[in-house]
Every structure is written in structure tokens, then in C-alpha cells.
Amino acid sequence: MKSRERAETLLAGAGITIDGNNSWDPQILNEGLFDRVFAGGTLALGESYMDGWWDVEDLSEFIFRLFRARSLISLLSGVGVVFQIARSKILNLQSSSRAFEVGKKHYDIGNDLYEKMLGPHLIYSCGYWKDAHTLAEAQEAKLDLICRKIGLKNGDTVLDIGCGWGGFAQFAAEKYGAKVVGITISKEQAEVARKRTAGLPVEIRLQDWRDLGNESFSHIVSVGMFEHVGPKNYREFMRKVSTILSDDGLFLLHTIGHSKVSRSLERWFNTYIFPNGHLPSITHISRATDRRNLFDKPILTMEDWHSFGADYDKTLTAWYTNFENAWPELKGKYGERFHRMWKYYLLVSAGMFRARYIHLWQIVYSKKGVVGGYTSVR
């Protein structure tokens, strides 16, 4: 069977027609696409889109349908990952020596891009759309949700691991009277965060989480950073949190997650967007804090697990709209190939969340268990 015929048969099961009339049907601009994708998997699919070999009116819906057909995406994702798996098992791809790589390659590419895309809060993580109608409302609701979940009050000290451009630190200091230390591995983020929080009880550090000293914090949050920690380091990360968290404090972990336990990295995203990134599974997270023997103590006690990954579809779609609206101002600096790469990144991500292939979790931990029980906040 020829590659095109094989692709037509496989895609038909997902309700997708090659060169069809639906908005999610891909239009083929180079017939070499099929051989390229079957040989190179998801990496080739993304690269061929960047090269203009195919296009589609509604990219996120195409990806939604592709990822809902799990057997089809498993076929594409399996191409070329053997080396990736072997490499991740042998090496610690998220070691301290590699910690700043994603900062340089992703977060430092240009504050102008992120300011236009993310909006006034400059929050680069999923918004909370339960009662929100706009991106700004969803991000402020998410920040407030975090503060309420950890019971933040005036005078509390908070560590923000992966503080980004200082959005949470600014919000927690201004709205709740907290004293915040934020750490990031991005020079550009640190510079903006310091400017945004000037005059507030906030300290911003350019620092890897492993370099945190013998400090103590009332509460700790990590929002959209755990995706860079890696399986070889999850337990060490949780031990560090437990060590510096006060005995009656709470830790909130906000992370994208995957339903499958895997050491492999999605090749296109690893190559072009998040080098050395890895999505944790529920098993990864639970094993990072559990007891390993009869005499061992749990590192942290899980109090609450909140899943709202469908909200990331809305968040990413809003980011894409902002990005497209600002593109006339940005294109002279970034160029058309970047435009197609970034569009692919945002809309593929939206489709994957829509398909519930990947998830968004907020997990609350205590150090020894909340006496009387923790009251969930939604």
C-alpha cells in the first residue's frame, strides 16, 4: 500500500479526510509528506508543517481528532523514540548542569513575544475558567485559587519555584500581604519580575531549585515548572520541598500531566519548544512522595487533587488569538518559519488538551497531614 493510501485509511478512522472539505481536513502541498511522516513520526509531522508541506484551516481540531484516535497517534509517536528512551534512562536530562538550557532556548527568546501573547498578567500557565469570561479573568482567578488553596494570609512567607515573570509573586504580595521569594532559570523572566515587584516584599532569584539553602517558608508553590524536573529528580524535588516547608505549611503543585508512565520525550516539542521537558504521570507523582519501606516516612502527604485540563484548551486558544493579533508587530523580528512553529506549538497543545490526552493538575500537600482534614477549595 502506498503511503498516501495508508494515511487515508488511518485518518478515516479519526473522521479526517485528506484534501477534504471540512475545516479539520489537511490540505497536502507536497506529496512527499506521507513518506516523510511515516519515516519520522510526530517530529516529521511538525517539521513538515513548519516547512509548508501541508496546511489545515482548523489545526487544533485536526490534532484533537488525531489524538482521540489513540492507536493512530501511538503509531506516529512510536517512530524514532527508542534512542530517546535509552538516552533518558542512561542520562539525567534534567540535571543541574542542564537546568538553565530551557531558560535560554525558550523563556529568553523575547519578552515582547510573551507580553503580547500572555496579556497583562504575564502568566504562562493554565487559567481557571470556572467563572471567567476572559483570559485576564481566568488568570486572576487561578492566582486567587492558589492563594486560597494554601490558606495564604498576611505576613506568610511563600516560595514560588519557577516564578516566571513574577505574576504570582506580585499578586500574593499585593492582594494577600505575603512575603515572596521567587526563583527562575530565565534571565529575561528575572529581569521583568524584579521590575514588576519593585517596592513589594518580594525577592526574585536566578536560581535552580537544587541550590535552595536551609531556609523555611510558610507555604510553597510551583506553577508550570514541574514539567522541567524529570523522573530522575522527582523524589529529590519533593524532599527539597519537604525540608524547607514549615511543619504546618502547604505546598501546591500545578503541573501538566500525562496518563502514561514514560521516559520518552515527544520529539517535536523537545526539539523546538521545551528541551529536556517531561510530563509526569500520576504514578510518577505518587511515587515521588510515598513510603519505600516499613520504616520509611512519607515525604509529603497529599491532601487534594484537582484536575481541570479542559481549561488549558481555552487558555491556549486565547494565547493563540493574542499571538495572531500581534503578529504584524512581531514578524519583522521572528520571521515566517517561527510563525508557523509557534502556531503549531499553541494549537497542537490546545488539541491535545481538548482530546484529554494530556492533563492539568493542581495538587495540595501538607508535611505531616492536616489535623482534622483539609477542606478542598474550588
CATH of residue 151's domain is 3.40.50.150
Q: Is the pLDDT of residue 201 over 70?
A: yes
Domain shared by 171 and 40, yes or no: no
Q: Is the pLDDT of residue 177 over 50?
A: yes
Instruction: Check residue 102 and give its pLDDT.
Output: 87
Residue 69 binned pLDDT confidence (cut-offs 50, 70, 90): confident
Mean of the pLDDT values across residues 2-15? 92
Residue 261 binned pLDDT confidence (cut-offs 50, 70, 90): confident
Write the pLDDT tens digit of every residue in 128-138.
999 999 999 99
Instruction: Check residue 82 and give its pLDDT.
Output: 46
Residue 344 covered by a domain = yes
Write the pLDDT tens digit of every residue in 290-305.
877 666 777 999 999 9
Mean of the pLDDT values across residues 69-94? 59
Residue 374 covered by a domain = no
What pTM value is reported for the model?
A: 0.93
Q: How many domains does the chain have?
A: 2
**Phi and psi (nearest 5°) for 155?**
90, -10
Instruction: Check residue 101 and give its pLDDT.
Output: 87
Instruction: Check residue 247 and give its pLDDT.
Output: 96
Angle separating helix axes 310-334 and 135-149, nearest 10 degrees:
120
Write the pLDDT tens digit of every residue in 31-40.
999 999 999 9
Domain shared by 296 and 164, yes or no: yes
Q: In whole numbers, what is the pLDDT of the chain averaged over residues?
A: 92
Residue 362 covered by a domain = yes
Question: Which of 207-227 are b and which e, b meaning 16 or more Cβ less than 10 Å from the residue's Cβ?
Answer: bbbeebeeeebbbbbbbbbbb
Instruction: Check residue 156 and give its pLDDT.
Output: 98
Domain shared by 40 and 141, yes or no: no
Domain shared by 198 and 230, yes or no: yes
Mean of the pLDDT values across residues 313-341? 98
Last residue of one domain, picked from the residues 55, 80, 105? 80
Domain shared by 60 and 200, yes or no: no
Q: Is the pLDDT of residue 164 over 80?
A: yes
Instruction: Check residue 291 and give its pLDDT.
Output: 77
Domain shared by 58 and 118, yes or no: no
Domain shared by 163 and 249, yes or no: yes
Q: Is the pLDDT of residue 336 over 60?
A: yes
Q: Is the pLDDT of residue 191 over 50?
A: yes
Domain shared by 227 and 255, yes or no: yes
Residue 86 covered by a domain = no
Domain shared by 218 and 305, yes or no: yes
Instruction: Check residue 178 and give its pLDDT.
Output: 98
Mean of the pLDDT values across residues 109-135? 97
Whether residue 160 contacts residue 183, with contact meaning beta carbons closer than 8 Å, is answered with yes
Instruction: Check residue 295 and give its pLDDT.
Output: 63
Residue 158 covered by a domain = yes
Residue 174 covered by a domain = yes
Name residue 306's beta-bridge partners. Answer: 362
Instruction: Check residue 140 and give its pLDDT.
Output: 98
Q: Which residues constitute the domain of residue 144?
A: 96-366
Domain shared by 207 and 162, yes or no: yes
Domain shared by 212 and 318, yes or no: yes
Instruction: Check residue 86 and give its pLDDT.
Output: 47
Domain shared by 128 and 270, yes or no: yes
The answer to which of 41-45, 168-172, 321-325, 346-350 has the lowest mean pLDDT is: 41-45
Residue 50 covered by a domain = yes
Instruction: Check residue 70 and give its pLDDT.
Output: 74
Q: Is the pLDDT of residue 1 over 70?
A: no
**Phi and psi (nearest 5°) for 364?**
-105, 130
